[in-house]
């Protein structure tokens, strides 16, 4: 099927751009609104970033062309300077952008051709001399420059479509659930499914979230292909603002709401995790770097890298001395935080690893991913069997996207979200199957367990949020987490 985790991430980038364009972002680019002077940084660079940087960055350099600085762009690659100032028709970039043949850029297997409006913006910029804006260094990283200048739009009162639910978290009192939405976090009452509050964020989507001991919420955010972040929000901050009668917090500008901005990266941050003692926060994502902060001081203590591809899964060992990670590079790894190095690699999945955890005794790692299996493996450092598979736990039969863990001393609970449209529970110590929580109508991309261990929630591709009792699997609620969305009903033709 199309929606494997890796293809889903590529698709998310395209969906994210569409969402930002259709529902959230400013309308037509400034240059396309009849502005006399076309700005390179405001009008042209955003078009190049969305359509060209994936192939023409400092790392990829297809055709030896790096477009991520003005200087390297004008230097050209295997061809010379791609523009002829004042002469759009003679400029190589215009020739490949307007081509209908195999030399068209972007290539057909990479993306759609640029719209006439966007091509016209670039043409007018070249016609006006192809200059760089005053005050910008020609060697400046354009990705960073665009990130600094970008301003998120406030969410709309009503969603035109349901959001993909990538992240969920129960509030510390077990009564509310926080859901990732379009450019915001939405907070719903567990029992009634009523929208209680909205928190505007810079990130287009939340990919992972966890409540900290002080009641604030750490969120791994994403603007796919453009930026990622880890930010901490006080969702209980006072506000007098509302959207459609629902209280809204400004998590972009209000420092009482956005209490910490831990890191900003050039692409998505996929996961955050909290140590069992609540003192350390870990995060990882597209840049493959695993970061760990001391929450008391806010200091970044660890920044380690050994995966060959994006990191999707992250969990601390019960004693906080180790981290286990899962990556699109088809491996799970165990990290010794004191030594700042990987002590084992578990390669048996043979496909991307999306989620990880550890058994309550800290002796075994648990990982799951695209192969549809949940695998348990030896993680005791010094053991002759370290890294060896202990058992394979079946169940979903299709890719496992996320896992959640609850450290109940009597019956530690593991919950998994899968492409089969179910949320499933397991005994985290023994691997014994628990309940299959059904009722969702599409792939499950998010899962959460309430702090008291009594409830399990899942979120789907279609914007559904399901909530069940962990003990018997009884459904508590099922709703579409889309503010203001009115379901369309088919018209019945009169006879």
- Answer yes or no: is pLDDT of 486 > 90: no
- Domain boundary at 89, 119, 149, which? 149
CA distance 210 to 170: 9
- Of 23, 312, 28, 46, the closest CA to residue 183 belongs to 23
Is residue 61 domain-shared with residue 98, that is, in the same domain?
yes
Is residue 427 domain-shared with residue 311, that is, in the same domain?
yes
What average pLDDT score do residues 451-475 get? 97
What one-character-per-residue DSSP string does 121-136 give? HHHHHHHTT-PPPTT-
Let me know if residue 486 belongs to a domain.
no
- Position 224 confidence tier, pLDDT thresholds 50, 70, 90: confident
Question: Could you check whether the bond before residue 203 is cis, i.e. omega within 30 degrees of 0?
Answer: no
Strand order in the sheet with 475-480: 444-449, 455-460, 464-469, 475-480
Is residue 353 domain-shared with residue 453, that is, in the same domain?
yes
- Position 2 confidence tier, pLDDT thresholds 50, 70, 90: very low
- Position 424 confidence tier, pLDDT thresholds 50, 70, 90: very high
Is residue 214 domain-shared with residue 317, that is, in the same domain?
yes
What one-character-per-residue DSSP string does 435-451 give? EEE----S-EEEEEE-T
Let me know if residue 377 belongs to a domain.
yes
- If one counts the domains in the chain, the total is 2
Do 354 and 401 form a contact (C-beta atoms < 8 A)?
A: yes
> For the chain, what percent of residues have pLDDT higher than 90?
73
With a CB cutoff of 8 Å and minimum separation 6, the contacts of 34 are none
Position with higher pLDDT, 98 vs 22: 98
- Answer yes or no: is pLDDT of 50 > 90: no
The tokens 């057909």 sit on which residue?
108
Residue 4's pLDDT is what?
A: 58
The three-class DSSP label of residue 406 is: strand
Is residue 141 domain-shared with residue 288, that is, in the same domain?
no
Residue 328's pLDDT is what?
A: 97
Provide the residue range defining the domain that includes 90: 26-149
- Answer yes or no: is pLDDT of 344 > 60: yes
CA distance 166 to 429: 26
- Answer yes or no: is pLDDT of 126 > 50: yes
What average pLDDT score do residues 376-404 get? 90
- Of 448, 360, 416, the closest CA to residue 174 belongs to 448
Is residue 303 domain-shared with residue 380, that is, in the same domain?
yes
Is residue 280 domain-shared with residue 374, that is, in the same domain?
yes
- Answer yes or no: is pLDDT of 490 > 60: no
Is residue 201 domain-shared with residue 124, that is, in the same domain?
no
- Answer yes or no: is pLDDT of 32 > 50: no
Average pLDDT, the chain: 89
What average pLDDT score do residues 236-255 get? 95
Least confident of 136-140, 147-151, 276-280: 147-151
- Answer yes or no: is pLDDT of 5 > 70: no
Model pTM?
A: 0.83
Residue 14's pLDDT is what?
A: 46
Of the segments 138-147, 338-347, 367-376, 377-386, which one has the largest average pLDDT value? 367-376
What average pLDDT score do residues 85-93 get? 94
What average pLDDT score do residues 399-410 get? 92
Residue 35's pLDDT is what?
A: 52
Residue 17's pLDDT is what?
A: 43
What average pLDDT score do residues 328-352 get? 94
- Domain boundary at 99, 120, 149, which? 149
Is residue 382 domain-shared with residue 303, that is, in the same domain?
yes
Is residue 303 domain-shared with residue 181, that is, in the same domain?
yes
**CATH number of the domain where residue 287 is located:** 2.130.10.10
Do 357 and 316 form a contact (C-beta atoms < 8 A)?
A: no
Is residue 143 domain-shared with residue 172, that is, in the same domain?
no
- Domain boundary at 149, 184, 202, which? 149
């Amino acid at each position: 099927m199309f929606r494997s985790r890796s293809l889903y991430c590529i698709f998310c980038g395209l969906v994210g751009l569409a969402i930002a364009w259709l529902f959230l972002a400013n309308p037509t680019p400034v240059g396309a609104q009849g502005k006399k002077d076309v700005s390179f940084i405001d009008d042209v660079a955003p078009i190049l970033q969305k359509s060209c940087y994936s192939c023409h960055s400092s790392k990829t350099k297809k055709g030896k062309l790096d477009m991520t600085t003005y200087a390297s762009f004008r230097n050209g690659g295997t061809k010379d300077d791609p523009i002829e100032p004042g002469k759009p028709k003679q400029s190589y970039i215009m020739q490949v952008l307007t081509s209908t043949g195999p030399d068209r850029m972007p290539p057909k297997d990479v993306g759609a051709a640029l719209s006439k409006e966007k091509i016209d913006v670039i043409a007018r910029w070249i016609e006006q001399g192809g200059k760089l804006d005053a005050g910008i260094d020609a060697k400046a990283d354009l990705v960073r420059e665009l990130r600094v200048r970008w301003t998120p739009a406030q969410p709309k009162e009503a969603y035109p479509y349901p959001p993909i639910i990538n992240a969920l978290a129960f509030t510390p009192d077990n009564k509310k659930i926080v859901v990732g939405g379009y450019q915001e976090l939405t907070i719903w009452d567990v029992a009634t499914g009523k929208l209680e509050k909205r928190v505007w964020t810079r990130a287009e989507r939340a990919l992972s979230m966890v409540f900290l001991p002080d009641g604030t919420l750490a969120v791994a955010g994403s603007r796919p292909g453009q930026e990622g972040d880890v930010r901490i929000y006080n969702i209980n901050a006072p506000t007098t603002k509302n959207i459609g009668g629902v209280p809204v917090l400004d998590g972009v500008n209000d420092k009482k709401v956005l209490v910490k901005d831990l890191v900003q990266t050039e692409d998505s941050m996929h996961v955050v995790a909290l140590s069992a003692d609540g003192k350390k926060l870990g995060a990882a994502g597209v840049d493959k770097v695993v970061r760990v902060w001391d929450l008391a001081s806010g200091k970044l203590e660890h920044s380690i890298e050994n995966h060959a591809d994006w990191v999707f899964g992250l969990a601390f060992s019960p004693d906080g001395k180790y981290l286990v990670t899962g990556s699109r590079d088809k491996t799970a790894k165990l990290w010794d935080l004191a030594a700042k190095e990987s002590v084992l690699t578990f390669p048996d999945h043979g496909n991307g690893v999306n989620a990880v955890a550890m058994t309550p005794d800290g002796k075994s790692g648990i990982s799951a991913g695209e192969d549809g299996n949940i695998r348990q493996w030896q993680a005791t450092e010094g053991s002759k069997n370290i890294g060896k598979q202990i058992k394979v736990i079946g169940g979903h039969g299709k890719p496992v996207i996320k896992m959640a863990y609850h450290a109940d001393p009597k019956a530690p609970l593991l919950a998994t979200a899968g492409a089969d449209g179910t949320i499933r529970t397991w005994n985290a110590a023994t691997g014994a199957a628990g309940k299959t929580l059904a009722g969702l109508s599409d792939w499950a991309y998010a899962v959460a367990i309430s702090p008291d261990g009594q409830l399990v929630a899942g979120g789907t591709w279609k914007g559904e949020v399901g909530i069940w009792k962990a003990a018997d699997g009884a459904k508590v609620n099922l709703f579409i987490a889309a503010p203001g969305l009115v379901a369309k009903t088919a018209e019945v033709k009169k006879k």
